[in-house]
Structure 1
Amino acid sequence: MDIQEPEEHLDLRMTLGFIRNDLRAMSDVDLLDTKALEACKIKVKGLQLSGKESLPQFFAPCPVDIPGPTDDYVDNHYDPDGDARVSDRAWSLYLYFQSYLQRMVVDLPPGHDHWCTIAIGDYRFKELRQLDRSIFGPYWIIRVQEYTRPHIKCIMFNNVEAADGELLRGEVLTILNLMLRQLKLYALVDNMIVPVLIFSLNGQRPRIIEAYFNGRDLVVKCTKPYDFTAMDSATLKIFAQWFVGEPKGVTSEFDSGE
């Protein structure tokens, strides 16, 4: 039996597509200023990874303790002084983070592996990877197994470092492309919210971003940039806990109280 897309679901895809088109037109922009954010209906908020306030709304950290990224545990080496370009430094950090995650996922207790990897080639949007003037793109994308939830996560890179409170055009284009990809899937047609968790490796200043559309605005919540000019094992373990953590929250309708 054919699955019919509800009218409000189609309207949602069109709205996000319009925002993406506005960002496409800003091809000479790296950092989105206040005027650009307002024009694209993007609301920027702060994000915390611990405590009780400003936590991610649609994602939870792994509920079980995980090993830290020690030299004995991770089959790789992070050299913060080895590369000069911002994108190369992001690649170096990603290789170490990837090695840590791949080892750690194998050691997760049964019932805590909710995610599967999607090949980058499955995303047919040209903006997903930009390699000309401003370099950005995805390293690793994961989605919930069996498409039981619309949540999606991505580790991405930029060749631009953003300060606290700043938002990069490449980050938002990546968020929108991931949302639109999920919204095109018949298996997820009953969902109006596609939560996205981005691990944005901006050189040696990585941060985590949660994004979702609330029916009016594209809400983008950013942590502070973390300092990886030297290895920070404690922070990398926190990143890993959120990468393998669980999806949560109601996604079938917008929250009228937000």
Structure 2
Amino acid sequence: MDEALVNQRADRRHALARIENLIKETPNMHVESSDLKAAGIRHLPLDLADGKNTQNCPRFFQPFQEELPLPENEEKMLEFEPDLDRIMWETRDMELFLTKHFCKCWIYADQKDPNNPPPSGGYREIGDYKFGQLLECIRFHWYAVSVTDYWAGNRPHFKVMLESDAIGDESKLLRGEIMTITDIMAARLRTKSLRPHIVAPILVVSLMGPRHARVLEADFDGKMLNIRASKLYDFTKKNTDAAQLLTRYWFGGACGQTEMELP
């Protein structure tokens, strides 16, 4: 069993590296469906808000259910129209807004119940992990800005916030989204403390233009990289519900089968 587990983890890392290399060769920020198919990627829908739609609901991540305060200064992002020539300025504003709200909510939850903090969402340094660069800055522009995992340390699940210099398109995935997923997922399958696990689910809060965000949930089943993508959430207008929904998934728990099953 131990040898089979080691081999399975290695095979999956190699497969993820192949997928990433194929996506690197694509010519655009928006990856065409033909390129996804060639790389072995399934682009699937993700429904975060409707718990009744079990077919499209998240498989590995759960929303935080406790009370949260409302965002502050939400109107500040709306003082100016989105600048399509400076999309990364817009994503940076969204990232600062969300990060400040995450921090406020974390303090609120900790003060309300110090013995029961949210299972995820604490600040982590990207450099503490053995990831790749998680960015491109020549020709394509995207980068990972924030990461978090689980306090217990024994969950392969991982969360990342990403900024991309691209206009959102619900019908297409972005190269930065895919490459971030494959890089982090492979690193998690190299982590010794996570050795029992052959599935390393990733949740991505993806920020893009004009001033939009979506959530991706990804897992690799040994054959296909499954990427479920939510609708685009519009922050060109006040969108408190979307901000709270993103926060609940950033703080929420982990679920799903990730360990190698015995024959």
TM-score by length of 1: 0.89
- Distance between the aligned counterparts of 1:16 and 1:182, measured in 2? 12
Aligned to 1:44: 43
| Structure 2 residue 112 is the aligned partner of structure 1 residue 112 | no
Check conservation: 1:165, 1:224, Cα contact below 8 A.
no
Cα shift at 1:24: 2.3
Aligned to 1:33: 32
Check conservation: 1:165, 1:222, Cα contact below 8 A.
no
Cα shift at 1:86: 1.2
C-alpha distance 138-80 of structure 1, shift in aligned 2 (>3 A): farther
The Cα offsets for residues 97-124 of structure 1, whole Å up to 9 and x where unpaired, read as: 1111101111113323223433122455
| Structure 2 residue 13 is the aligned partner of structure 1 residue 13 | yes
- Distance between the aligned counterparts of 2:189 and 2:8, measured in 1? 12
1:57 partner SS: coil
Aligned to 1:212: 219
Letter in 1 for 2:229: C
- Distance between the aligned counterparts of 1:126 and 1:24, measured in 2? 14
| Structure 2 residue 199 is the aligned partner of structure 1 residue 197 | no
- Distance between the aligned counterparts of 1:104 and 1:91, measured in 2? 20
Cα shift at 1:191: 0.5
- Distance between the aligned counterparts of 2:125 and 2:67, measured in 1? 29
TM-score by length of 2: 0.87
Give % identity.
24
C-alpha distance 245-208 of structure 1, shift in aligned 2 (>3 A): same
1:212 partner SS: strand
The Cα offsets for residues 154-199 of structure 1, whole Å up to 9 and x where unpaired, read as: 1110000231121011110011111112111100111011110100
Gaps of 5+ in 2: none
Letter in 1 for 2:237: A
Letter in 1 for 2:227: V
Counterpart selection for 2:69 from 64, 67, 74: 67
C-alpha distance 122-131 of structure 1, shift in aligned 2 (>3 A): farther
- Distance between the aligned counterparts of 1:170 and 1:190, measured in 2? 28
The Cα offsets for residues 117-153 of structure 1, whole Å up to 9 and x where unpaired, read as: 3312245555511112211011110011242100000
For these two proteins, the number of residue pairs brought into alignment is 248
2:77 partner SS: coil
Aligned to 1:86: 87
| Structure 2 residue 231 is the aligned partner of structure 1 residue 224 | yes
- Distance between the aligned counterparts of 2:6 and 2:258, measured in 1? 15
